[in-house]
Amino acid sequence: MGRKIKPNLTRSQIMAKVRSKDTKPEMVVRRLIYSLGYRYRLHRKDLPGKPDLVFYQRKKVIFIHGCFWHEHNCRAGLKKPKSNQDYWIPKLRRNVQRDKENRDLLVKLGWKVLIIWECELKNKESLTETIKSFFNS
């Protein structure tokens, strides 16, 4: 996000630096949820989509999505790549389709799913209320 990338890196080197676990947004949400007294498991491979946070006893999961990578309808999510669009546009669409399939599977298995978008982290009070509401439902 806010890191500067050296111009002499290849696209492959740049993409290798993009993490799927322990991202900054994920860490913010994890700290917040922990401070609210909830305990969780991370990235369970036995569940569809490997949810970021799993609350087994409550049968609830949370995904923390980057707005760009999962095409959220906010400013960052609506931004489209300028180069190599033949590759990027279908890739981003596949992400969205895979998210929907995983969410549907989880619901079919009896899980409740919350998606927290990267842009929602800006308003901690609203995010806290969303999380509390999710756990109290």
* Mean pLDDT for all residues in the chain: 89
Please indicate, yes or no, if residue 31 is contained in any of the structural domains.
no
- The domain that contains 86 carries what CATH number? 3.40.960.10
Please indicate, yes or no, if residue 30 is contained in any of the structural domains.
no
Please indicate, yes or no, if residue 49 is contained in any of the structural domains.
no
Reported pTM = 0.84
Please indicate, yes or no, if residue 82 is contained in any of the structural domains.
yes
Q: State pLDDT tens for residues 18-64.
A: 556 668 999 999 999 999 999 999 999 999 999 999 999 999 999 99
Residue 61, C-beta contacts closer than 8 angstroms, at least 6 positions apart: 47, 51, 52, 53, 54, 55, 106, 111, 112, 113, 114
Q: 136: number of CA atoms within 13 Å, CB side?
A: 7
Please indicate, yes or no, if residue 40 is contained in any of the structural domains.
no
Coil, helix or strand at residue 112: strand
| DSSP letter (8 states) at residue 88 | H
Q: State pLDDT tens for residues 25-36.
A: 999 999 999 999
